[in-house]
Chains A and B, each alone.
Chain A
Amino acid sequence: MTPGDAVTADETARRAEDSARRAVVAVWRIESARIVATLTRFTGDFALAEDLGQDALADALAQWPTQGVPRNGAAWLTAVAKRKAIDHWRRQERLDQRVAALGRDLERQEQAGADAVPWDPDEIDDDVLRLVFTACHPVLSAQARVALTLRVVAGLETTEIARAFLVPVATIQQRIVRAKQALAEAEVPFETPPRAERTARLGAVLGVIYAIFTEGHAATAGDDWMRPELSLEAIRLARQLAALQPDESEVHGLLALLELTVARFPARIDAHGEPVLLADQDRRRWDRGAIRRGSAALARAEGFGRGLGPYALQAAIAQTHADASDFAATDWPRIVAAYDALLRIAPSPVVALNRAVAVSMADGPAAALAIVDALAGERALAVGHLLPSVRGEVLARLGRDDEAREAFALAAARTQNERERAVLLAKAAAGR
């Protein structure tokens, strides 16, 4: 070893510290939602609870590398955070009943020993659910909900969230600070919404998880190594929610959709990083485990017998693809039926266009062309490349090559994505 022993010793120490740091982060990832949820119940103040949790994490990062990881890391972090809460109130001279209650709780916990379970697990699960609903509250912007959920429910660090969304760390920090302020100003109570509001609020929660998943799935720009991780994070959140709210059909529907979509990830990009169309994907590379889990979740959603929601219907479409040995063997009528149902409950021009693609496979291109042309007036489709691109495919199948070429050229001119443009221009040149 040429660099000498001193350097090697430094390197060893650095590695030991790095490994301890990663252990702290791992415990935080697993326990943070429960810790922040407990602290919120005790303090009645979500923003304060989140700050206390972060402070306790900082203490752990400073102490665990030298003193070792405690046997019950969650209890350690919670106790430290509660002590900080008491200090905080003392400084503010607000020694009220809450401090007394927290102090008694801490004492009890210390008497019982650090290894004792510091809380009632049943109550905690409710607290975590309240935390999910709080982080996804409608007073917050969509971006703020995403940042806050990843931070307090998934336990991601600000730097990780910033890297995942390709924005500066300061931006994410600001979003989180403002989100906490907004929750405080609106005096958002720490509670699961009343029954009547539950469905609407659950929709916001599902929307946040889906937005996180899509950000990982779309992989639009930049250094994309973190993106699949983001999709997996969304799946973990969906699984968590399914465990917390097992009686909500659409939660299982969303989980099914995410699992069935992530199953295709291994086949979506070729060796050169180019996207591979569904029709061309090597289905042997699809993740059978994810398909099995997705199908199980869809079966649960169907088991409620109350009809499927939008996420479950999209999952049903994905499952139909997963069931087919190849593109040609797909059960297209079943997909058309799912799109029909989707159009009834969540109508949109994009859904109608996707349905047209399924119709072209089930009933032939002539039937599809009529649908596509009927959508020509839709404002939502007037600027993008989707409509002319589908129209090109349908016209090509009808043998109307000149018109197909024109449609592909129009689609190529409209797309923002270079790779997509190349594919469309190639089709325009080939006359299909």
Chain B
Amino acid sequence: MQYMLIMRATDEAVEAYKQIPFEQVIEAMGKYNESMIDAGVLTAGEGLSDASEGFVVDFSADPPLVTDGPYGETKELFNGFWILEVSSKEEAAEWAKRCPLGPGSKLEVRRVQGVDDFPADNEWIQKEEGWREEEAARRAASTPGGSAG
């Protein structure tokens, strides 16, 4: 199962991080990433650039309103993520606890949904299965098959 570790930092934490030499931060993160690569659990991960380069799409309006910000009352910013392939929630938690972050920072850990998460009895899911079967029958009539993938 896959879990996403979402890095959330307060403005204070971001400021505090700026006080630590960049080299030191990079090294700590690098070692953390390396440990997850060595264990074979890291499948993706990116840092996000400063929020000033981002923007907000607000769906309160129709059509949705695109603004440079402000971020309103949000005191925490998402500024990076990792996606881990692990065997349990506890394993995800164990890796998350090893992240070299300081006070004011949080990691939000969320399970990434897979196919099994969608209800098999949902009307649209069933409709899609129906289309798929028709398509399969149509192709079976026109192609020579091939090996089971």
Chain A residues in the interface with B (C-beta under 8 A): 19, 22-23, 25-27, 29-30, 73, 125, 128, 229, 232-233, 235-240, 243-244, 264, 266-268, 270-271, 275-282, 285, 289, 293, 321, 327-328, 354, 357, 360-361, 365, 393-394, 396-397
Contacts and interface: CB of A to CB of B under 8 A. Distances in A.
B49 interface: no
Contacts of B40: 235-240, 243
A277 B145 CA distance: 7
Given A264-B149, A278-B148, A393-B144, A235 B37 contact: no
A239 B135 contact: no
A23 B94 contact: yes
Nearest to B128: A282
B147 A354 contact: yes
B67 interface: no
A108 B110 CA distance: 40
Given A243-B38, A327-B146, A280 B90 contact: no
Nearest to A393: B144
A365 to B, nearest CB: 8
B36 to A, nearest CB: 9
Interface of B: 34, 37-41, 43-44, 83, 85, 87-91, 93-95, 114-115, 120, 126, 129, 132-133, 135-136, 139-140, 143-149
27 contacts: A22-B88, A23-B93, A25-B88, A26-B93, A29-B91, A30-B95, A232-B87, A235-B85, A236-B40, A239-B41, A240-B40, A243-B38, A244-B38, A266-B115, A268-B149, A270-B129, A270-B132, A277-B148, A278-B146, A278-B148, A279-B145, A280-B140, A289-B43, A289-B83, A357-B146, A361-B144, A396-B144
B149 A281 contact: yes
A232 B38 CA distance: 15
Contacts of B135: 280, 282
Contacts of B43: 289, 293
A234 B135 CA distance: 33
Instruction: Determine the main DSSP class of A at the interface with B.
Output: helix
A23 B97 CA distance: 12
B119 to A, nearest CB: 11
A370 to B, nearest CB: 16
A397 B129 CA distance: 28
Contacts of A361: 144
Nearest to A124: B38
B91 to A, nearest CB: 4
B149 A26 contact: no
Contacts of A240: 38-40
Q: Which of B38, B83, B114, B149 has the most CB of A within 10 A?
A: B149
